[in-house]
Amino acid sequence: MPSTCFTAPASCSTTPPPAMGLVKFLGVAALLLAAPFISAKQVDVHDPVMAREGDTWYLFSTGPGITIYSSKDRVNWAFSDRAFATEPTWAKSVAPGFNGHLWAPDIIQHNNQFYLYYSVSAFGKNTSAIGVTVNKTLNPKSPDYRWEDKGIVIQSVPNRDMWNAIDPAIIVDEQGAAWMSFGSFWSGLKIFKLNDDWTRPAEPQEWHSIAKRDQVPADISSSAGPGEIEAPFIFKKNEYYYLFASWGLCCKGANSTYHLVVGRSKSATGPYLDKNGKDMNNGGGSLLIKGNKNWVGLGHNGAYSWDGKDYLVLHAYETADKYLQKLKILNIRWDKEGWPVVDEKELDSYKSKRLK
């Protein structure tokens, strides 16, 4: 039996006292064995997206200044930085109700720089804008590490625009042109072509509608319409572009109805059709994953290929933890018709660990 010491060092013995000492010894041993499980908190994030630089993955999510974590194995995550120490200088001029949380980022590498797109808004309003900040590296220990904000890419204005400038995601087409998909509620999801430096719309501007749900009212309104759709993410696989979208309501705990649907097209600009051939512009969308009693309100995904395998990155609310949002990374498989498939059981089997 190992040496134990329950009082002062001078009274230590290699054998604990027969009764109370044994109880204390077993209690300490149990605590030591349980410690890793008690301290291993999962990463709680909304709207996660990821990028890889060298042997490290970086995770970006909604939060003050955009929260950034890093990992060597996509399981153990450590806090890395915030993209903004406070907030963009222009934020409150766009959204007076802005609360300091930057929403729904997307991260992509281009021309030896990382482009981090983000949203400024207020809940349920289209007083919104999408901005972009750039950095040569994601490693905060590098002398080249410095985020440089490039300002507003697009902005939506109430009573002028029937779309909402949040939830950006970038896809590069087969010709090398970059397109930004975006949108939430109102008239649905849009996509437009970016200029050569990926900071503004290309001129002349080219815009397309790619998905919506309910009939959009004829009048221009500052209130969100009934069509519960947002968070587009386009992923290229073989001959198709796959459009993932989140349907339902997020951020309502047990009453959250968020879930993921998908459609596909042979063009980045659509039309995107579901498995039944229904256009996502007409309410189409095939269910990808809806969750279960343990995990609700799941969605706002990214999709990636690493080392020859495809992955779905999303958040889900854990019922057992008062519906706190958690990071999930699921394997994407492809059926014989070329549609993405994920295993609901991996919501339970994948557990991130927040190191600090």
Q: What are the pLDDT digits (tens) for 271-329?
A: 999 999 999 999 999 999 998 999 999 999 999 999 999 999 999 999 999 999 999 99
pLDDT given for residue 356 in this prediction: 74
As annotated, the active-site residues are 47, 230
Taking residues 210-232, report their average pLDDT: 74
Q: What are phi and psi of 273, to 5 degrees?
A: -110, 145
Question: Is residue 246 predicted with pLDDT exceeding 90?
Answer: yes
pLDDT given for residue 73 in this prediction: 98
Question: Is residue 18 predicted with pLDDT exceeding 50?
Answer: no
Instruction: Report which of 81, 118, 80 is spatially closest to residue 101, judged by C-alpha positions.
Output: 118
pLDDT given for residue 15 in this prediction: 37
Average pLDDT value for the chain: 88
Taking residues 246-267, report their average pLDDT: 94
pLDDT given for residue 138 in this prediction: 98
Cβ contacts of 178 within 8 Å, gap of 6 or more: 110, 170, 171, 172, 193, 194, 198
Element (H, E) at 186: none
**Cα–Cα distance measured from residue 146 to residue 96, given in angstroms and rounded to the nearest whole number:** 28
Taking residues 191-218, report their average pLDDT: 90
Burial class (CB in 10 A: 0-12, 13-18, 19+), 58: buried
Edge-to-edge order in the sheet of strand 76-82: 49-53, 56-61, 67-71, 76-82, 353-354
Percentage of the chain beyond pLDDT 90 is 76
| Sign for the pseudo-dihedral over CA of 335, 171, 303, 54 | positive
Question: Is residue 4 predicted with pLDDT exceeding 70?
Answer: no
Summarize pLDDT for 35-88 with one digit per residue, the tens: 444 457 999 999 999 999 999 999 999 999 999 999 999 999 999 999 999 999
pLDDT given for residue 225 in this prediction: 62
